[in-house]
Structure 1
């Protein structure tokens, strides 16, 4: 007994000695343990897919694409900011038809495979379109838009596959729905941070067309996923049933959309995005103007966007650790309000009030962009979680793509609305006298969605939103696609373990 007591005492002393070490490394171990938990619960293949599609293709590649396209339109195509906004809307059209990509990947396998061919097609289209933009001396604006739209389609098709897995896992693991959206947001934010950090340097060294050449690499990785993804081969698929599958999926989507618990949040999501007018091209032209604006160099623009992307990362971290369990309606009220107020920084910058207070343009723009990115992320995160909660069983991927297309229609409306506003106020490549008025109008319109919050359920993210009768239709919907995909079937094996 005495020896046992001595052993316990000595082991207790060892625990006490190790406690400070655990406390010091706790902050570093927490995100690692969280990431490891997701790999165990969702399987590493799902996490890998999120990192490649969101982190590399959309995050890092999207950052390079944004800066490269801004300078491509301004310096190579030499278009007005209102025209650039209109063209930006055209290139986003593939994102408006995401339900079509979702239906194809859900019900139409190619050569017996349901996911691998679509990754391969998406990567191939992206590589070809980026190389055309890179190697051609000067494409006609119509051909340039065609290539940019094709590249956008490649990103959209790859995105749909991961979205389907996120929606499926949100239903299988409702308590981890917010964690999965946090993983997507963190991957995208970190990728954007890295991309923006080098975007200005690359634009300066190799030009915007050279940047398009670099963008072939992320698309090549998407192609690589399609060749390496382990997926069961189903050569005896009944293609004669494809039409019926399309009809059944369409009926299920329509039945779900008619539900007030679904169409009301969808209506809010559209108006909350559409009323937040996008005038980013007007601000970008002003940033680089040598007379009216601060005349930032290409490197400075890249650094500003890279530092500001930290704001997006902080927004994702803040949501994950503090806000993810708050009711949707309450959280959306405060995030929308703060998002509107953050636009005041743009107004102060354009009116040059920062110089009157002795704050340099570069420092103030970094603060402005960081706050804007953080508030935009905080506003976007609960909308994504809400969307995943609205997906009925059996057609999760297709319906989530439909919800994202509704959001993208809202973003398109905001982009074209912002372009019309810039054109009406005569904001051009060299004329920025009314840019402050465009910002003021945009800020007031951002407050309008607060009047529509009654459309959003007050439930918290851990609760179910869909009615019981819709949730119980899972038995009536064919779900062979979820059984044949490694990313989803592996999740089911973990759940059944």
Structure 2
């Protein structure tokens, strides 16, 4: 879908709704929540490219071994009074009502921390339920940290280990598709938790199940296969006879160490499928909890909860990505898989003490579907999400850039890895910069300024192609250019995720937030497909680069830069603030069935596209031209 049909439908709907005299019911209103003038709801809601970001680990290169009590608080996310034993921890010391917001509990806490640090960790103006580092809430940032750590650890393992097992390109595509396939079911995971509580809980029980499946999948892989370096080397060595194999075994195992068989490609694929299923299941539960809690933030600290969670996530990614490379190269794949099995198990105690209201009344499936339909028909949803989709689709990159760095500039694998690691660091710094300096900016201001700056630095790639580096080495010039672009990406990431949280109707946070992120991430997938198509416009092949013919690279870089910057033309669709977002509800176009239909059509079509591509990679390896 492109922008033109959507805008045409909007015009038609405007003509049809001139006679409307009263706006439709507000899908964001929660009549059970009582807000005071002092404490009212605020703002919050990708996986940055899970999609933008979650796919970034796929580009990590490695050389194979073979060649992360107040009434306002209780109104929505209350402490229940069930008799579970684990709830005792929350009853030992409950701060006074005033302490929950004034910071008076610092004096009664007995802490040795400086007051400024204590109040930074436990913001005095926020309800206890959104103070993430309280014992009953610590599982939430821990979940985001774990997501980042596992993304960083699994990237090199998924990309490199199949090569060490002599997997073909088609088999590599199959493995990658199986690992990411469960992400297409995020909407189903969220809908399940919204409608079918497990053991009385809508989130924490499913989060436990998700991390348990993640851990057990890697335990099974460790148990029934040999992941040692010796097994990898034995599998990759070319042996002409049994005698050669025996001599090789004597060389690498002089102490009669028994070497088992490495996993088969089908078994490895199945293990990674289960790993991905548990990973995305738990990730959706974490997002759902944050979507619920973010609505309790006071206006003065809007967005802080989400920015803290994503800072934890990208910190985990930043740390795990480079260290996973070192661990794999030094200790082999087994050490990486041990970490991938152990880390999810370590969060289980924190999830167990996570405070969540038990036995909350759940609307019927029909009622929830009706509520989601009313939500997506609201202009406060389809207009800003239309901007998100159009903007992300236009983030078309130069798909030949990596080949240029390797072929023309002679970048080594270590240098390319350095660029990626630096990108992770600057991405995290961008998140922290937004949290510290830009969180009070309007969403439009953030997008306009970052888009224009990103365009300037993308255009600088043309200078590098022409050899103009102002005395810097090509590596340093490319490092600065790429890093600044990722820093901008980190700043730009949070505004729309904050916005998405406040689009979620109460009680349906799991399905609705998963739906919004799925739509956003699918746009990045489409942008990547467009990037590949543009390779055929000019000759940017490896052979042309080796001949020194770089005019195609210059033109392609200029074109992709212009396409990326053109996203700023649609920024008028994005509300400036949360207040503007909620104000869209009373607009005459709010309640548009055409807008809701287009939104759902794009979302479900994107899910279907991802599902079809993933299944084709599994059942018909090589359909896209891989060997």
What TM-score do the two structures reach when normalised by structure 2?
0.58
Cα distance change, pair 90–264 in 1 and its aligned pair in 2 (3 A): farther
* Residue aligning to 1:180: 305
Cα distance change, pair 65–353 in 1 and its aligned pair in 2 (3 A): farther
Residue deviations 1:145-194 (CA, integer Å, cap 9, x gap): 55444433322222222222222222222523311122022212322222
* Distance in 2 (alpha carbons) for counterparts of 1:375 and 1:172: 29
CA contact (8 A) 2:161 2:333 kept: yes
CA contact (8 A) 1:126 1:219 kept: yes
Cα distance change, pair 73–42 in 1 and its aligned pair in 2 (3 A): same
**How far is the alpha carbon of 1:249 from its aligned partner?**
1.2
* Distance in 2 (alpha carbons) for counterparts of 1:232 and 1:117: 12
* Residue aligning to 1:353: 467
- 5+ residue gaps, structure 2, are 1-113, 228-261, 547-551, 588-627
* Residue aligning to 1:383: 496
Alignment partner of 2:515 out of 397, 402, 408? 402
Structure 2 counterpart SS, 1:330: helix
Q: What is the root-mean-square deviation of aligned Cα atoms in Å?
A: 3.9
Question: Are 1:100 and 2:188 counterparts?
Answer: yes
CA contact (8 A) 1:265 1:457 kept: yes
More helix by share: 1
Matches within 5 A, 1:441-452: 441-452=559-570
Question: Are 1:194 and 2:282 counterparts?
Answer: no
CA contact (8 A) 1:319 1:378 kept: yes
**How far is the alpha carbon of 1:269 from its aligned partner?**
0.9
Q: Bigger shift: 37-46 or 82-91? A: 82-91
* Distance in 2 (alpha carbons) for counterparts of 1:400 and 1:453: 22
* Residue aligning to 1:211: 336
Cα distance change, pair 214–435 in 1 and its aligned pair in 2 (3 A): farther
Cα distance change, pair 74–447 in 1 and its aligned pair in 2 (3 A): farther
Question: Are 1:293 and 2:410 counterparts?
Answer: yes
**How far is the alpha carbon of 1:232 from its aligned partner?**
6.5
* Residue aligning to 1:366: 479
* Distance in 1 (alpha carbons) for counterparts of 2:213 and 2:473: 43
Cα distance change, pair 54–442 in 1 and its aligned pair in 2 (3 A): farther
Structure 1 counterpart SS, 2:576: coil
* Distance in 2 (alpha carbons) for counterparts of 1:40 and 1:250: 32
* Residue aligning to 2:283: 159
Residue deviations 1:431-468 (CA, integer Å, cap 9, x gap): 96676665544323212322222221233579745637
Cα distance change, pair 88–110 in 1 and its aligned pair in 2 (3 A): same
Question: Are 1:115 and 2:203 counterparts?
Answer: yes
**How far is the alpha carbon of 1:373 from its aligned partner?**
1.8
CA contact (8 A) 1:325 1:462 kept: no
Question: Are 1:339 and 2:442 counterparts?
Answer: no
Residue deviations 1:47-93 (CA, integer Å, cap 9, x gap): 523321212x222222223344444466656666x997897576444
Cα distance change, pair 207–340 in 1 and its aligned pair in 2 (3 A): farther
* Residue aligning to 1:63: 152
* Residue aligning to 1:35: 121
Cα distance change, pair 277–357 in 1 and its aligned pair in 2 (3 A): same
CA contact (8 A) 2:451 2:568 kept: yes
Matches within 5 A, 1:97-496: 97-130=185-218, 135=225, 137=262, 139-140=264-265, 146-175=270-299, 176-207=301-332, 210-229=335-354, 245-277=364-396, 289=406, 293-297=410-414, 303-346=418-461, 348=463, 351=465, 353=467, 357-421=470-534, 439-459=557-577, 464-465=582-583, 467=585
Structure 2 counterpart SS, 1:277: coil
CA contact (8 A) 1:98 1:156 kept: yes
CA contact (8 A) 1:86 1:415 kept: no
**How far is the alpha carbon of 1:392 from its aligned partner?**
2.1
CA contact (8 A) 1:164 1:397 kept: yes
Cα distance change, pair 85–361 in 1 and its aligned pair in 2 (3 A): farther
Cα distance change, pair 335–232 in 1 and its aligned pair in 2 (3 A): closer
* Distance in 2 (alpha carbons) for counterparts of 1:451 and 1:149: 40
**How far is the alpha carbon of 1:251 from its aligned partner?**
0.9
* Residue aligning to 2:138: 48
Q: Bigger shift: 258-267 or 35-44? A: 35-44
CA contact (8 A) 1:120 1:224 kept: no
* Residue aligning to 1:472: none
Q: Bigger shift: 126-135 or 42-51? A: 126-135
* Distance in 2 (alpha carbons) for counterparts of 1:93 and 1:150: 10
CA contact (8 A) 1:59 1:188 kept: yes
CA contact (8 A) 1:277 1:418 kept: yes
CA contact (8 A) 1:390 1:465 kept: no
Structure 1 counterpart SS, 2:122: helix
Q: Bigger shift: 107-116 or 380-389? A: 107-116
